[in-house]
Amino acid sequence: MAKGFYNEGFPRGWFVISFSDELAAGDVKPLRYFAQDLVLFRGEDGTPAVLDAYCPHLGMHLGHGGVVEGDAIRCPFHSWKFDAQGKCVDIPYATKIPKKADTVCWPVRERNGMIFVWYDRDKSAPAWEIPTLEEHGDEAWTSWDHEIIEIKTHPHAIVENVTDTGHFAPVHGTHVNEFEAIFDGHMATQKNSGIAYPMGGGEDRYKIEATYYGPAVQYSRMDGFLSSVLVNAHTPIEENLLHLRFGVMLQRAEDSRTTAAFSAQYIKNLRDGFFQDVRIWEHKIFLPRPVLCDGDGPLMKLRRWYGQFYEPVAETQAQA
């Protein structure tokens, strides 16, 4: 297991907790992220909400038997009702709601067919927003074809791929012609072109621009056989254990069968490619002072960029 990373705990930022098509109106789901138990539900008006999982009354997990009513959720134990902001709005057998009856509400956004939650151990307000993808919802593009895998690693290990040009050939069998890493505030962008040799056979000449918006959500635009938009989003469950969600949207070909077949193969290639990385991520240690060569990318610059998401907001703003 990857371990020994110098940043303890979890970075500040937006994290994907579900794709939109996985949560219908009225659905309730228990979640475990950031070493905390949470409940995700979608109100009857279609709005998703995330609350701390346990009812402040007698500790029942709202994600196991909780029922949606309007934009609120009822506890299955004593029917206390909490709205999307975590406020207790009804206790059927009480004449007065206790002042401490509310629970914690998490900042949530639904964008680009995904549901995001904002995490900050210092409870700061969101410092940036996830951009809207113009391709999402466009009839000329498919909807997300997506999957999720659980990995025993620290999220830092995944982010270091932004600068790791040297791993493409030995790990993925990809020949890189051009490579650049750019850091700008909360964003980190990799520009990369070359020839990929998918495990299923053939070759694909590609050009990709991949940008992290914060420490955990990366959108990529890739030109190859078909134009595509990729998402790579990792959300920590515990330290050194995370969910990696990935998906692809494709620009539709004239033959819909070609698009469907290519999408299925594409998501398989993505999954296979991530598992090539997983065997590395799960069996490496973190070296604070690695021995680097002149062919390595700007690894230490990336580590400084990534470190900002562990610093208190006031310190980050002072450095800007």
Q: Are residues 258 and 221 in the same domain?
A: yes
CA–CA dist 234, 15 (Å, integer): 7
Residue-wise pLDDT for 56-92, tens only, equals: 999 999 999 999 999 999 999 999 999 999 999 999 9
Q: Are residues 166 and 115 in the same domain?
A: no
Q: What is the CATH number of the domain that holds 28?
A: 2.102.10.10
Instruction: Give the structural domain span for 62.
Output: 13-119
Q: Are 142 and 249 in contact (CB under 8 A)?
A: yes
Around 82, how many Cα atoms within 13 Å sit in the side-chain half-sphere?
Answer: 32
Copy the structure tokens of residue 157.
């290990």
Residue 200 lies in a domain: yes
Residue 310 lies in a domain: no
Copy the structure tokens of residue 10.
């979890």
Residue 267 lies in a domain: yes
pLDDT at 205: 77
Q: Are residues 115 and 177 in the same domain?
A: no
Q: Are 40 and 50 in contact (CB under 8 A)?
A: yes
Q: Are residues 170 and 261 in the same domain?
A: yes
Q: Are residues 244 and 149 in the same domain?
A: yes
Q: Are residues 189 and 273 in the same domain?
A: yes
Residue 261: phi, psi to the nearest 5? -65, -40
Average pLDDT over residues 229-234: 95
* Torsional sign, CA 22, 306, 187, 232: negative
CA–CA dist 30, 8 (Å, integer): 25
DSSP lists the bridge partners of residue 51 as 39, 105
Check whether 265 has a pLDDT greater than 80: no
Reading phi first (left if > 0) and then psi (alpha if -120 to 50, else beta), residue 168 is in alpha
Q: Are residues 174 and 61 in the same domain?
A: no
Q: Are residues 100 and 228 in the same domain?
A: no
Q: Model confidence at 186, in pLDDT bands (50, 70, 90)?
A: very high
Q: Are residues 49 and 113 in the same domain?
A: yes
Check whether 313 has a pLDDT greater than 90: no
Q: Are residues 293 and 157 in the same domain?
A: yes
Instruction: Write the secondary structure of 103-120 as one string of H (helix), E (strand) and C (coil).
Output: CCEECEEEECCEEEEEEC
Q: What is the CATH number of the domain that holds 194?
A: 3.90.380.10
Domain boundary among 76, 103, 119: 119
What global pTM score does this model have? 0.92
Domain count, the chain: 2
Residue 193 lies in a domain: yes
Check whether 250 has a pLDDT greater than 80: yes
Residue 205 lies in a domain: yes
3-state class of 128 per DSSP? Answer: coil
Residue 135 lies in a domain: no
